[in-house]
Amino acid sequence: MANVPKELRYTREHEWAKLEGTSVRVGITAYAQEQLGDVVFVELPKVGAQVAAHQPFGVVESVKAVSDLFAPVSGRVAEVNGDLPNAPEAVNQDPYGRGWMIVVAPSAAGDWEQLLTAEQYEQFLAEGGH
Amino acid sequence: MDTPLKRTPLYQAHVRAGARMVPFGGWEMPVQYAGIVEEHRTVRRAVGCFDVSHMGEFEVDGPEALAALQRLTTNDVAALEVGQVHYSLLCTSEGGIVDDLTVYRLAADRFMVTVNASNIDKDWAHVTRWTGPGGGARWRNVSLETGLVAVQGPRAEALVGRLADRDVAALGYYRFARGTVAGVPALLSRTGYTGEDGFELYVPWGETERVWTALLDAGRGEGVAPIGLGARDTLRLEMKYALYGNDIDETTSPLEAGLGWVVKPAKGDFVGRDAIEKVRAAGPRRKLVGLEMVDRAVARHGYPVLEDGRTVGVVTSGSYGPSVDRYIAMAYVETALAAVGTAVDVAVRGQAKAARVVRTPFHPPSVKKG
């Protein structure tokens, strides 16, 4: 079973979200990177861009597949992981650490509560993950 | 209607090895074991084993076997010696490509052809219409009797040599011989789809796993690993080898695809010759070229190629090339834009990303010389 850290929240599209003060850091889960295989390209929004919960904010590509990245919460992009374009393999090597993608300054408080808890996400994976 | 996926004799071995299995051409095949990039590097640096038992094999023999193949395929089969193999094409009478294949001359009047898995039924219907003027060519579909393992990489010769009953170092590129591998009767062919030196071993279906296991055991010192279809695709892309259904199909001409070198009109008539010669006389309107992305983006099959916003072609294959460490692609572009160095764009999710036509193969081949 893929690693699902307890302190994070999750989407059904396999992004993780981490509350840092009032901001939310976002990446894809260990399960997601395993399914994708070798990540060779990551396309992220610019700082200042608006993202909407459950809407695509970027793209991750493995050798074989192109996948949208979905925002866990709505808000403004406050930070972007500028290392990923040159080192997309960090998404495979350290999906919850160096493989982070963006930090969002949320615009709506309610989004966070809609996200899956670690237990719910584990249950979701146990049911097949889609 | 869903047809159940077929399984090669190595299916259980792949599952045991932890491979990720995917549908491919009607077969359930391993796409990766350790990871596509790692497997790709294993083949370039050491040696890898591929299960390609899903591919189809037909035999044709009889006094008119040569005549039937001359009629059906574009290359000159009369020039083929016993023990030699060549790359060739089956074409429609309109000059489109039915399939690409290899032709083995087993004896003066006996041949084997190897075809793509997804085209076995179509090819069988196509070739069996040709039994020679006097019906003296007999076709046999031996696809499900024939397992096929490709052993590819700079250490392939050392590995296969240790398990074979004959001197494989003496076997030249695109030559084959009968022998045994790990005690199993095999046709050892010095061919491949990776740009590396190596072999394709045709073995009895039921004994394929014995050969596979022996190769993986005996090759530990060489760093051998099983390789999935994912790395097979990136390896062939770096060589600009066409993949049927992606880069070539019944709507593409051999001359557009850069496969004119296996079209031999001087040998006499064959299916598609007139149509292909018309394209030759007029000059192909588009050409299959190698693209390297200048902007950071991955070009994929079906993405439009643009020049100043105008569509001038289409991407047929594209990926990250692990050995060249660049995003590379194959694309049909208008002939005027096919020269090396030409700047074009690829439309990636609606955005024009800069690319340029580059010399191919993208990565220098290391196949056996001579």
- Chain B contact set for A66 (CB, 8 A): 298, 300
Instruction: Read off the pLDDT of residues B50-61 as tens digits, 9 standing for 90 and up.
Output: 999 999 999 999
Return the pLDDT at B170.
95
ipTM for the predicted complex comes to: 0.88
Q: How confident is the model at residue A103 (pLDDT cuts 50, 70, 90)?
A: very high
Return the pLDDT at A43.
95
- Chain B contact set for A41 (CB, 8 A): 296-298, 320, 327
**Residue B74 above 80 pLDDT?**
yes
Listed in sequence order, the residues at least 6 apart from B300 whose beta carbon sits closer than 8 Å to its beta carbon are A66, B315, B318, B319, B329
Could you state, in order of their start, the residue ranges of all structural domains in chain B? Answer: 285-358
Quick check: A64 and B36 CB within 8 A?
A: yes
User: Residue type at B104?
Assistant: Y
A40 touches chain B (CB under 8 A): yes
Contact (Cβ atoms closer than 8 angstroms) between residue B129 and residue B68: no
Q: Does domain B285-358 have CATH number 2.40.30.110?
A: yes
In this prediction, residues B177-201 reach a mean pLDDT of: 98
A59 touches chain B (CB under 8 A): yes
In this prediction, residues B101-124 reach a mean pLDDT of: 98
A68 touches chain B (CB under 8 A): no
- Please identify which residue in the block is written with the tokens 């970027």: A58
Instruction: Read off the pLDDT of residues B210-248 as tens digits, 9 standing for 90 and up.
Output: 999 999 999 999 999 999 999 999 999 999 999 999 999
Q: Is the dihedral of CA B80, B84, B87, B89 positive or negative?
A: positive
* Average pLDDT along chain B: 97
Contact (Cβ atoms closer than 8 angstroms) between residue B207 and residue B147: yes
In this prediction, residues A8-32 reach a mean pLDDT of: 97
Report the top-level CATH class of A9-125.
mainly beta
Three-state SS annotation for chain A: CCCCCCCCEECCCCEEEEEECCEEEEEECHHHHHHHCCEEEEECCCCCCEECECCEEEEEEECCCEEEEEECCCEEEEEECCCCCCCCCHHHHCCCCCCCCEEEEECCCHHHHHCECHHHHHHHHHCCCC
Instruction: Read off the pLDDT of residues A48-62 as tens digits, 9 standing for 90 and up.
Output: 999 999 999 999 999
Return the pLDDT at A1.
63
Return the pLDDT at B2.
64
Q: How confident is the model at residue B369 (pLDDT cuts 50, 70, 90)?
A: confident
pTM score of the predicted model = 0.95
